[in-house]
Amino acid sequence: LSKILLDPAGFPFRDWIMKHAVHLFSSSDIQELYPISEAVRVIEKAFLHHALGKSRMPSKIYLDLPEYGGDFRAMPAALFSPPVAGIKWVNSHPSNRKRGIPTVMAMVIVNDAKTALPLAIMDGTLLTNLRTGAAGAVAVKHLSRRKAKRLALIGAGAQALFQTRAILSVRDSIDEIRIYDPLQKSIRSFEASLAETYTKAIRVAKTARQCVEGADIVVTTTPSRKPIVKREWLADGVHINAIGADAPGKQELDPEILNHATVIVDDRDQATHSGEINIPVNRGQFSPKKIASTLGEVIAKKSGKSLETRTTVFDSTGLAIQDIASAAYILAKAKKRGDLATFDFFS
């Protein structure tokens, strides 16, 4: 078969395939083509389309590597307008921080869903950060107080930065940012990176409690395996983005918070298996029946009630539709601009 594929004369579809060279996107291409405000719009639409049955996505598959303190995930999805399918291959290795390399890295492959022709391969690391931040902002837009002022961040790593940038793009009422992270290096790098977009002083809290007390929005972005935030520290009507727990065994919130809040998930199956609710569900401390709805259903107004004044938790596990919708958008925008890097896999 490879002889036929490699022989131009013997492979009748070769010319056709050559017209569909695979485009390559680096992290700096993505930075240029995918500003956070556009990511928020793309992700909101992706969640909505998913709730309306306009995309297909099995739960992500985990390849656990406890001997290396990490894991890989394979995340496939298909979207129907335009018809694209794709997969993200992504890891989570929290101890990479000590090695001076990112804890989360990813690659994305995009195909035409009708013909299966490969269309693009792109860096998925920045894409993951952007689409995760954007999902947090979509949740804040639909679930937090319109005039939310105080944003509290537990964890000051990559996700904290992208959550903050994205949330600031949907809530210009925010005038106080507090942050808690035992790692001073993370705090310093967060402050330096955010200085480009946020000029006010950031309040560095000494404890998680000091950070979240009185906050309108709380965002947790740590790889923690036990609760960090307690219910009694939180004000009524707070909105929480629980971002860090995205694999079995991870947890950042006191289960009491879940039992007294309206819990919105990105995906019911994934959240139950690997989201913030995974441990409380396994221990019988929270019933999956208490999930109020998915974020897509909230956007589609299927939940029917205003959630602005309630205590709400958005349990984010990260969906393949976020990645593939982002990748498809970046590819379409780049094609309009022209001058794309390509690679001919069939030569």
Ligand X SMILES: NC(=O)c1ccc[n+]([C@@H]2O[C@H](COP(=O)([O-])OP(=O)(O)OC[C@H]3O[C@@H](n4cnc5c(N)ncnc54)[C@H](O)[C@@H]3O)[C@@H](O)[C@H]2O)c1
Do residues 47 and 25 lie in contact, with contact meaning Cβ atoms separated by under 8 Å? Answer: no
Q: One symbol per residue from 47 to 86: x for binding ligand X (CB under 6 A), - otherwise; what is it?
A: ----------------------------------------
Sole window of 46-54, 79-87, 154-162, 329-337 interacting with ligand X (rule: CB under 6 A)? 154-162
Distance CA 195, CA 199 (A): 6
Nearer to ligand X by C-beta: 29 or 246? 246
CA–CA separation, 240 vs 312, rounded Å?
6
Phi, psi torsion values for 201, nearest 5 degrees: -70, 145
Beta bridge partners of 25: 122
Q: Are 176 and 151 in contact (CB under 8 A)?
A: yes
Residues near 19 by beta carbon (within 8 Å), at least 6 away in sequence: none
Q: Is 290 a catalytic residue?
A: no
DSSP 233: G
**One residue of 111, 144, 164, 222 binding ligand X per CB under 6 A:** 222
Residue choice 22, 316, 326, 334 for contact with ligand X (CB under 6 A): 316
Which tokens belong to 238? 């707070």
Given the residues 60, 88, 141, 250, select the one marked as catalytic: 88
Of the residues 70, 118, 227, 244, which one makes contact with ligand X according to CB under 6 A: 244
Per-residue contact flags (x/-) with ligand X for residues 91 to 130, judged by CB under 6 A: -x-x--x-----xx-----------------------x--
- How many CB atoms are closer than 10 A to CB 31? 13
As a residue count, the chain comes to 347
- Examine residue 223 and tell whether it contacts ligand X (CB under 6 A): yes
- Given the rule CB under 6 A, which residues bind ligand X? 92, 94, 97, 103-104, 128, 132, 154-160, 180-183, 186, 221-224, 228, 243-244, 246, 250, 316-318
* Residues with catalytic function: 88
